[in-house]
Chain A
Amino acid sequence: MNYLAFSAPLSALVLAPFLQSVINRTKATLAGRQGQPLLQPYHDLWKLLRKGAVYSSVTTVIFRLGPTVSLATGIMALFLLPLGGFPAPLAFAGDFLLLAYLLGLGRFFTVLAALDTGSSFEGMGASREVLFSSLAEPALLLALATLCRLTDASSLSAMLAGVNQDLWLGTLPALLIVICTLGVVLLAENCRIPVDDPTTHLELTMIHEVMVLDHSGPDLAFNNYGATLKLWVFSAILAGLVMPLWQALGLPPWLAFGAGMLTVAIAIGVTESVMARLRMDRVPKLLLSASLLATLALFLQQR
């Protein structure tokens, strides 16, 4: 076994909160604020890990299991994820299906933990979460299936290794559509504007944040860290797709990947700064059009 392969998940475990910082800093800069320190997410996690916890008397073991399972699935997802030229420690044909379903498992438990509290707010968040995620799922898998066909590969590592400058030149329209679709899926799955606002102050309008209202201490840390890892997973796939553009400027693969990650994070920050949140009933339309776009890309990819 190639031990170097484990550098990808390990560096992701360390760097994932930093991605959050870049997004926050971008948003702050665009809004003319100074923004929080770049290491703030790490401080937050550390603070939460040292605290005690408060549990609602209604909750059962499911509530305590939720954050742990969602963190564990996030960590496992990292092991399926290639990073800047390094293939993933676990790469096999069809691994992207496992990746999608692992994240689904994490979501299942997050939703159950929310329902375990018996709170109507958390029920509301859970209801919206399952609505949006069930519509995002086809878009994600169709986009990845298109990528399979584009690169003649069926594992995530081989797919992203197959994305190079030739592919960009040869199949530009299909690739652009895939990037758009995955971008929409990223925003929806990670509760970013225009689907969900992670910084809103009103429980009624939240989706993901309201589901974790009752978590505290290490549980909340697990949950937040899990969410950060999930954001990293989606960003890394997108970064792998835009990497060849940076490589064209002469950057080595790992640096090009880093630049790709920054590109994605800044793009998320810019999107969040310039857009308002969509009305709730508009979001399904956005996600359905993402699925349709992915279908279009699939039919466009005939080479």
Chain B
Amino acid sequence: MLVIFLAGLACLLLAGMSALVIGKRLRLATWVAVVGVIAGSTLSLVAALQILLGQPAVSARFTWSMPLGNLVIGIDGLSAFFLLPISALSALGAIYGTGYFASHGTSKSSGLPWACYLGLVASMAVVVTAQNALLFILAWETMTLASFFLVIFEHRKTAVRQAGWIYLVATHCGTAFLLVMFLLLGKHAGSLDFDQLAAATPLTGQLAGLLFVFAVIGFGTKAGFIPLHVWLPEAHPVAPSHVSALMSGVMIKTGIYGLIRTLGFLGAPEAWWGILLLGIGLSSGILGVLFALAQHDLKRLLAYHSVENIGIITLGLGAGVLGVALDSAPLAVLGFAGCLWHVLNHALFKGLLFLAAGSVIHATGSAEIDRSGGLSKTMPWTATCFLVGALAISGLPPLNGFASEFLIYYSSLAADLRSTVLDNTLLVIIMGGLALIGGLAAACFTKAFGMVFLGLPRDRLPGVPHEAPFSMLAPMGVLAVSCLAVGLLAPLLLNVLALPVLVCVGGTIEMVSLTLGIVRQPLAAITVTSAVLLSLIGALLFWRQRMLARRVVNSAVTWDCGYDRPSARMQYSGSSFAAPLIKLFGFVLGSRTEYSPITGLFPAASHLATHTPDLYQERLYRPLFMSIARLLKQVRRLQHGKLQVYVLYIVISLLALLLWEMR
């Protein structure tokens, strides 16, 4: 099993190196890289599926020259589950990317981007299989750097470099917390091997709480918890689309993986951990979708939706942790199951949406929602794929998003917490919160799909819209079909969840399977309803077709209340569509409007611009980093390039050390 996985890893690394070496020969490098990714992903997918279908967990231990522990790598249920989206999405992304790196490259070599892509895939696979903290951190850093170089792929543009810096700084601030956390854990357990960390004597309550907060900050930065999300809306839009898909679809989930893994080292969780996670989930979910609604750029909108979905995932995670803390098996099992399943589902539909958005940008040269329109006529397949993704991300049946959200909803219904107040609070957070998030997500995706693909083009676009080539459509098609399949096969997929959930909640596999069993019948009923619904839609369409077949069917202009010169510019735009919601939630969004009002009897041209910057970056991080920069400016006085003064520094420090020693 592990041999298969390691062979896959070797494939990835080998292909990455080869691509780097033969980078000048574009086609060959691309071929080597794509074949490498597909081979590597297939092998790790096989290994992961074998574990998930009941083979025992495996691990291998190698000695290395690093202190505190060995090089341990292994696959258990949780690792295997996270390997599924990583393998699937990276292979599909690579196929999609074949055309991209060649046509958009600014340098003559496509070797470096491919090497980074393969490095990213390999490091993600190692992150979720490393069983030693040092190996984990090394893979984590490789993952960060590989994705950083991919984000700044179009580094000639200032905005891209700026976004890259924000990403690099944010993610390293997060890693700093992780380093401290792992060092403290390792000091306590005397080893950095994960099995030793888990087996160590329980931490004291305060230390465990502190380490939990560190883990939330460290992993939350990668995952995109509000207010640690600032890098997402910067980095995702500027990266190549298949890289955005990979980063948003699976890379940020390694933060969730790390958090779940770390929970295993901290001993029995306390109730406030779960409540903290629920709060983070609720605020990330609601604020994420609200900021998404306010965006004018399609990929930025999708990036904020990642924050929203991480919020939904964290709601499930919080429910699970609360369930473990309060000893409520249904809440714990269903919460974690919903969390993990949404991780997989989000990878599928967000990957799909980013790839479809990439096709739109590829074809039109613009990601501005307010300028586009009517693309479903020229790009019908892309439009269909985007529609499937939009329905899935809005959590609508019969697609996969509904199944995982149903599990999280149901966890709060099935919770048998003995405290009524806590029970009701949980219901309000999950029922009310998820319902609001779902409603707003539907609003946001009717906007995204409706404005980009329906109606008429609102403005002249840089490119001539055309359907994407087959190499881009095929991965999208696979993802769209998977979204539908995972939604319809939900009751069967429940079995796959038992092992990963077992790693999260502990106990016995029988208990977990039994508890998961309580949603099997509802999920089966949902599948039946969905199947009947689809056939009913088919039947009604057929009936309608028959009715209209022998009647007069005319084509005319859109009804515009008798106005005889309708123009495409009069259509509702994305901004106007979202305006009432933005106004209603203006107090948390801080949108700005620039408007030069119409004056006089014969008014000249006027303009209106709305802009919703990220509130946290504007109000929190920019002032913070500005003041740090001001403070550090004082230190700069020490550095002025005068050699004799530097010699003086050396003399002074030597003297000081001498005095210290002679004390």
Contacts and interface: CB of A to CB of B under 8 A. Distances in A.
A54 B397 contact: no
Most buried by B among A54, A119, A135, A280: A119
Interface residues of A, number: 82
B571 A119 contact: yes
Contact of A108 (B391, B413, B424, B456): B391
B560 interface: yes
Nearest to B525: A92
Contacts of A102: 397, 529, 533
Interface stretch (A33-41, A233-241, A267-275, A294-302): A294-302
Given A108-B394, A142-B431, A98 B580 contact: no
Contacts of B656: none
A58 B439 contact: no
A111 B280 CA distance: 31
A127 B413 contact: no
A142 B432 contact: yes
B597 interface: no
Contact of B521 (A92, A134, A140, A299): A92
A115 B435 contact: no
A127 B447 CA distance: 9
A13 interface: no
A299 B424 contact: yes
Contacts of B557: 56-58
Contacts of B406: 94, 97-98
Contacts of B424: 149, 298-299
Contact of A101 (B396, B568, B572): B396
A42 B572 CA distance: 34
Given A124-B572, A145-B431, A149-B427, A58 B450 contact: no
Chain B contact residues (Cβ within 8 angstroms of A): what range? Answer: 35 or more
A52 interface: yes
A49 B544 CA distance: 9
Contact of B580 (A104, A128, A141, A214): A128
A157 B6 CA distance: 53
Nearest to B540: A68
Contacts of B412: 145
A112 interface: yes
A167 interface: no
A275 to B, nearest CB: 22
B555 A54 contact: yes
Contacts of A117: 455, 558-559
Given A107-B442, A130-B443, A118 B373 contact: yes
Contact of B572 (A64, A79, A115, A142): A115
Interface string B529-552: 100110011001100100110011
A57 B555 contact: yes
A71 B171 CA distance: 48
B521 A93 contact: yes
A69 B396 CA distance: 13
Interface of A: 49, 51-60, 62, 64-65, 68-69, 71-73, 75-76, 79-80, 90, 92-95, 97-98, 100-102, 104-105, 107-108, 111-112, 115-124, 126-128, 130-131, 133-138, 140-142, 145, 148-149, 154, 203, 213-214, 217-219, 222, 280, 284, 291, 294-295, 298-299, 302
Interface of B: 373-374, 376-377, 387, 391, 394-397, 402, 406, 409-410, 412-414, 420-421, 424, 427-428, 431-436, 438-440, 442-443, 445-447, 449-451, 454-456, 518-519, 521-522, 525-526, 528-529, 532-533, 536-537, 540-541, 544, 547-548, 551-561, 566, 568, 570-572, 576-581, 584
8 contacts: A57-B558, A95-B525, A97-B410, A118-B373, A149-B424, A222-B540, A280-B580, A299-B424
